[in-house]
Chains A and B, each alone.
Chain A
Amino acid sequence: MSALLKSGSLKTRIIWAVVLILMCLAPLISTEFRLSLLAKFLALAILAIGLDLIWGYGGVLSLGHGVFFGLGGYAMAMYLKLQASGTSLPDFMGWSGLSGLPWFWEPFRSFPVALILGIALPALLAFVLGWFTFRNRITGVYFTILTQALVLITVTLFIGKQEWTGGTNGITGYNSIFGFTLHSAGTTIVLYYITLAILVLTYLLCRRIVNSRFGQVLEASRDGENRVRFLGYDPAGYKTLTFALSGALAGIAGMLFVLQVGIISPSMMGIVPSIEMVLWVALGGRGTLIGAVIGAVVLNAAKTGISEAYPEGWLFVLGGLFVTVVLFMPHGLVGVYRNVVRLLKRRGEVVHVPVSKEKPEVY
């Protein structure tokens, strides 16, 4: 947190401090239900930061983050389910006629191993896919379509292998971790603080990456991949690593999400959720890490509100947002904010206005 406070102008620093203090005080002023919702949004914001890293800075649009999110979620859910089942077999395996625990479920008995696998599996999958595609210079639209196919087959696989994954229902029926009930007031507050801390750490880490030499090469290969290659860099390596990191962050988000919601199913990693994740980043403003966080929280809050009031309307709103953001707000909410600030300054006849760093169009 001190690193956050050290950066930028005095005004930014003050804003950061106020926001952080408000976030820390949230448990005091909000109800348990609202707090758990907020914690869920913050968990999703971790994923959004990762997605922004590969899309906003790497110029690679992934529609497959639902898979990485799901892998993390399933890893955590498998651990919780095994704890809940004790020595007996998880109930859905019994219904599907399995007599013994499949071998790959065994590692998930231990919490640290489940934790590591929940981060490593999505990262590895992302790394492998990135390795095979970026190395062959399959980028842009082709890569996007491949990631979408990845989502499709993963969902088919998870639904098809019902005896291993719980099928369409997913993994449900667990409500405690280390003996604490997931939905009790105390656990909710602890989970909220854990999520908030991980989010802040993720943000700091990613901002460090973007400002480093690594991030600069990444951004350069987004804007002119061939030139970067001619300068002797290997853009594929940078993109692959970023994609793997992005997958790992999605896995972490999935694990936190399961702790807060208490269920994971294939419908949470499908094509529609995956593309919704992209909209979080697009609405907030891609290429600005804070935009990803804002987008994720705002859009999910809106989704909760609209779905409660008018369930049919959500798809119209979502679809309309896609069109509006792409056509009129290419830099998202952050871009709108910057434009407004610039406009106000110009109107006040400030002598010299430093033009904010414009991002070129990402194709």
Chain B
Amino acid sequence: MDMFVLQMFNGLSISSILLLIALGLAVTFGLMNVINMAHGELIMIGAYATYVTQNLFISYAPAAWFEVYFIVALPIAFGVAALIGWLLEVILIRHLYGRPLDSLLATWGVGMMLQQLARTIFGAPNVGVSSPSWLNGGLAISDGIVFPYKRIFIIALVAVVLLCMYLYIYRTSSGRRMRAVMQNRSMAGCLGISTRRVDGMTFAIGSGIAGIAGCALTLIGPIGPSLGTYYIVDAFMVVVLGGVGKLVGTVCGALGIGMFNTLFETYTSASIGKVLVFVCIVAFLQWKPRGLVAMRTRSLD
């Protein structure tokens, strides 16, 4: 029983990380029909931003301040990743709208260059980020069950990001503009919305969330230039499974994949577990080819 509860908790924590990564993808994919393969590298940028912040705190700030560096690193990671994402959109992506496969190839090239750049700047080996002491240890539920604070923190962080996203998309005027562009780009343009600006903005937000995901990943393990590649395919599977265009689909997709992955891995092995998850996803798509929650449309294709 203890084992099962722990596995469930692990599954939840994996799901939350997947969700954080897939959230940015879902936003850009759903809104602009752009496949951003460089998303993994934006995660890496967020992680390295955290690493740099930590080093700056160690070098220049009083030792007592070190405890709060992680809180400072979160907005920094968001900002840096959002800025680079925005630049990417301005320079490259806006030439590729409506060509998802081309955008996939081009952004993959960008991702490769960013990876090599990180390797040149920070070196190929992984670097470690030491987490603040208040995140060490865990919450003991009973004798056999200890929930690490780090994982609880990540789950809470994801919940907060999700809430912010919800409020932004459904409760602010700029979020309404974003939804309008997503649903009918030309009509939104006719009504005076600058779709260009909305695109740039959305892409920056999606990238910023990737940065936060990178920041959260530093709590889990060492970071390296190819950090993002480990997660990117899984995150895309979340988007495909969840369906494009609705937040709730992404949430369900992430929960489903994370939970099933943990369950299968517990009862078989890591590699067989991955195969089973993949088979389940393909089987599920037989039933609902458009994913769990898809936007209703009457258009062909």
Interface residues of A (CB under 8 A from B): 61, 129, 132-133, 136-138, 140-142, 144-146, 148-150, 152-153, 156-157, 159-161, 225-226, 271, 275, 278-279, 282, 312, 315-316, 318-323, 325-327, 330, 361-363
Contact = CB atoms under 8 A, between A and B. Distances in A.
B99 A363 contact: yes
Interface in B84-117: 92, 95-96, 98-102, 104-106, 108-113, 115-116
A146 B282 contact: yes
Contacts of B112: 315-316, 318-319, 322
B285 A138 contact: yes
A160 B240 contact: no
A361 to B, nearest CB: 7
Interface in B259-301: 269-272, 274-275, 278, 281-282, 285-286, 289, 300-301
B236 A145 contact: yes
Contact of A319 (B101, B116, B285): B116
A146 B240 contact: yes
A271 B111 CA distance: 13
A318 B105 contact: no
A191 B92 CA distance: 44
A253 B289 CA distance: 33
A321 B101 CA distance: 16
A141 B35 contact: yes
Contacts of B8: none
A312 B236 contact: no
B201 interface: no
B233 A319 contact: no
A309 B36 CA distance: 31
B173 interface: no
B135 to A, nearest CB: 30
A144 to B, nearest CB: 7
A323 B106 contact: yes
Given A140-B100, A322-B110, 19 more contacts: A132-B285, A144-B35, A149-B278, A152-B233, A153-B271, A156-B275, A157-B272, A161-B271, A282-B105, A312-B116, A312-B120, A315-B116, A316-B116, A319-B113, A321-B109, A322-B108, A327-B92, A330-B102, A363-B100
B53 interface: no
A315 B282 contact: no
Contacts of B234: 152
Contacts of A146: 240, 281-282, 285
Contacts of B236: 145, 148-149
Contact of A320 (B113, B278, B285, B286): B113
Interface residues of B, number: 44
A142 B240 contact: yes
Contacts of B275: 153, 156-157
4 tightest Cβ-Cβ pairs between the two chains A and B:
A322-B109, A160-B271, A319-B112, A319-B113
Q: A interface, by DSSP: helix, strand, loop or mixed?
A: helix
Given A156-B274, A319-B116, A322-B112, A137 B99 contact: no
Most chain-A CB neighbours within 10 Å: which of B102, B111, B120, B281? B102
Contact of A153 (B95, B113, B229, B274): B274
Nearest to A314: B116
B237 interface: yes
A225 B300 CA distance: 10
B80 to A, nearest CB: 20
B205 to A, nearest CB: 21
A48 B268 CA distance: 37
Nearest to B269: A160
A55 to B, nearest CB: 9
Contacts of A326: 96, 102, 105-106, 109
A226 B301 contact: yes
B113 A144 contact: no
Contacts of B229: 271
A150 B278 contact: yes
A148 B105 CA distance: 13
Contacts of A278: 105
Contact of A141 (B104, B286, B301): B104
A161 B129 CA distance: 32
Nearest to B271: A160
Nearest to A225: B301
B21 to A, nearest CB: 14
A363 B35 CA distance: 12
B243 to A, nearest CB: 10
B289 A136 contact: yes
A335 B95 CA distance: 20
